[in-house]
Amino acid sequence: MKNFKPKFSVITATHDRAYILWRAIQSVLAQTYPFFELIIVDDASKDATEELVKRFTDPRIRYYKLKKNVGPAAVRNYGLKKAQGELVAYLDSDNAWYPEFLELMNKAFAGDKARVLVFCKKNYRLTLVDENGEEKRVRDEYTNADRYFDLKRLWHRRIMIDTSSMCHKRKEIMKLGGWDENIKFWEDWELTLRISKKFPRGFLYLNRALLDYEQKIDMRSADKVFAMWEREEKKIFYKHEGHPLLEGQTWFPPEKGNRSTLGVVDYLRRKHS
């Protein structure tokens, strides 16, 4: 689109999700705020992702396919380098926004120039796959439901800002180095911790659900997945060790029944059984 200047750059990282990516794309195109570009970064998919994207003729869509699989953090950094908008939002390929997501984000940033990151409530839908391949929905509820936000709750992992629920200023986050490509899980949480160090007053929480967030965990490969979660949790702790807001946290070292990965794993195993 000649002379089109997007206010938002929406980055969608995807890998072998042609079967569900269409829903994410449609939810972006259905936004009531039209001044955006949709940057789809294909992390070396082997399915019909490219063919699917080509079916959409909206000129605001830009598609890039990587030659090798690099992981979500690196894919989002690639998208950041291509982004033209002053504000950046992310929609993972298995999630969907409500139509007013960008409109409300735009109003939130307009209200205070000091804001660097705005995030919202989400409807969290968790599905477990059992040993027979059967799927069971074990959670379908709003998260981040409290009416307030403070940095201590973020650092103590009492609140998690999911990638698809956040929107941030592009230049400020690029100066922070973007996404940490060494973090393979909880990378959105790690990014928000770094943002809070530089811009402690730059957060705004919208206490309104603006997206459906889908997560599916295959319990047949759960041990491998959970080990990776715990490994990345350890990386994040030692990267930020010594920060004053970590004092009194209960997520590291990991133990069952608290805010650590083992606490999450214990919850999932109980749900599975």
Q: What is the pLDDT of residue 138?
A: 85
Per-residue pLDDT of the chain (273 residues; tens, 9 = 90+): 667 899 999 999 999 999 999 999 999 999 999 999 999 999 999 999 999 999 999 999 999 999 999 999 999 999 999 999 999 999 999 999 999 999 999 999 998 999 999 999 999 898 989 889 999 888 888 876 566 789 999 999 988 899 999 999 999 999 999 999 999 999 999 999 999 999 999 999 999 999 999 988 898 998 898 899 999 999 999 999 999 999 999 999 988 777 777 787 787 778 776
* Backbone torsions φ then ψ of 122, nearest 5 degrees: -135, 155
**Domain annotation covers residue 135:** yes
Nearest Cα to Cα of residue 154 among 93, 202, 213: 202
Rounded to whole angstroms, how far apart are CA atoms 97 and 8?
A: 14
Which CATH number fits the domain that encloses residue 1? Answer: 3.90.550.10
Report the number of distinct structural domains present in the chain. Answer: 2
Asked whether residue 195 falls in the same domain as residue 243, the answer is yes
Residues 128 and 247 in one domain: yes
- Does any domain span residue 172? no
User: Are residue 51 and residue 10 in the same domain, yes or no?
Assistant: yes
Q: Are residues 68 and 142 in the same domain?
A: no
Claim: this prediction has a pTM higher than 0.85: yes
Q: Is 175 a member of any domain?
A: no
Residue 165 forms part of a structural domain: no
Together in a domain, 128 and 231 = yes
Query: 132: which residues sit within 8 A by CB, 6+ positions away?
Result: none
The reply to whether 196 and 249 lie within a common domain is yes
**Does 171 reside within a domain?**
no
pLDDT at 140: 84
Residue 109 CA to its chain's centroid (Å) = 19
Considering the domain architecture, whether residues 149 and 267 belong to the same structural domain is answered as yes
**Both tokens assigned to 37:** 């570009």
Range of the domain at 2: 1-106
Report if residue 174 sits inside a domain: no
pLDDT score recorded for residue 141? 82
